[in-house]
Amino acid sequence: MTLAQVESSRIDWEGALVERARAGDTRAFERLYREHAGRVYGLCLRMTREPHLAEDCTQETFINAWRALAQFETRSSLGTWLHRIAVNVTLGKRRKAGREEPLPEGEIEEEGFEPHWTLETPVEVREIEDAIGALPTGARDALVLHALYGYSHTEAAQMLGLAEGTCKAQLHRARKLLRERLNVEVG
């Protein structure tokens, strides 16, 4: 069995549930929800910083996903697709509440430097989460998508509706602020 076939059989499993959900099987959709709810809520919570708002975003994400299932291509990652919807939902709610921030001035990281988001000394999880929560919204969004959820600069920028350079600027800002707050080098 080739790697492509292995990947294909893994996707098939979820793909089979998606197909059933598309045909109106809410039980199949519930299984998809159970599989992905944690990661969607985790993203919403870190972006909104408010559990009730994060719950609203999560619910709306899955409701929107149900409605848009016909457009989902089963070859791609359902998790990523759900995250895209979650980011749209969160940004939409933020716009409605008038909580958008101006974009930072273009400080860019040194050319070619790509942080791995490692910490010089270990830090308590609670402390890190609080530090991330205290970041300005734009910096936090970029950091959460890129450093926590592993999206590339291009993907994170697309999801946030930003130019890639702006996204990188936000990441640079996030790194600087985390360093100051945690008093630890962020490499």
**What is d(CA 157, CA 160) in angstroms, rounded to the nearest whole number?**
5
Among 180, 169, 179, 166, CA closest to 117: 179
**What is d(CA 4, CA 13) in angstroms, rounded to the nearest whole number?**
14
**What is d(CA 84, CA 78) in angstroms, rounded to the nearest whole number?**
10
* Shortest distance, position 98 Cβ to another protein, whole Å: 26
* Shortest distance, position 28 Cβ to another protein, whole Å: 10
**What is d(CA 65, CA 29) in angstroms, rounded to the nearest whole number?**
10
Q: Is residue 153 at the binding interface for another protein, with CB under 8 A as the rule?
A: no
**What is d(CA 109, CA 60) in angstroms, rounded to the nearest whole number?**
36
Q: φ and ψ at 83, to 5 degrees?
A: -65, -40
Q: Is residue 105 at the binding interface for another protein, with CB under 8 A as the rule?
A: no
* Shortest distance, position 170 Cβ to another protein, whole Å: 15
Q: Which is nearer to another protein, 51 or 161 (CB)?
A: 51
DSSP state letters, 25-47: -HHHHHHHHHHHHHHHHHHHHHH
Q: CB under 8 A: which stretch of 41-49, 87-95, 98-106, 154-162 binds another protein?
A: 41-49
Q: Is residue 11 at the binding interface for another protein, with CB under 8 A as the rule?
A: no
* Shortest distance, position 76 Cβ to another protein, whole Å: 15
Residues making contact with another protein (CB under 8 A): 1-3, 6, 9-10, 12-13, 15-16, 19, 22-24, 26-27, 29-31, 33-35, 37-39, 41-43, 45, 51, 54-55, 58-59, 62-63, 66-67, 69-70, 74, 116-119, 122-126, 128-129, 143, 147-150
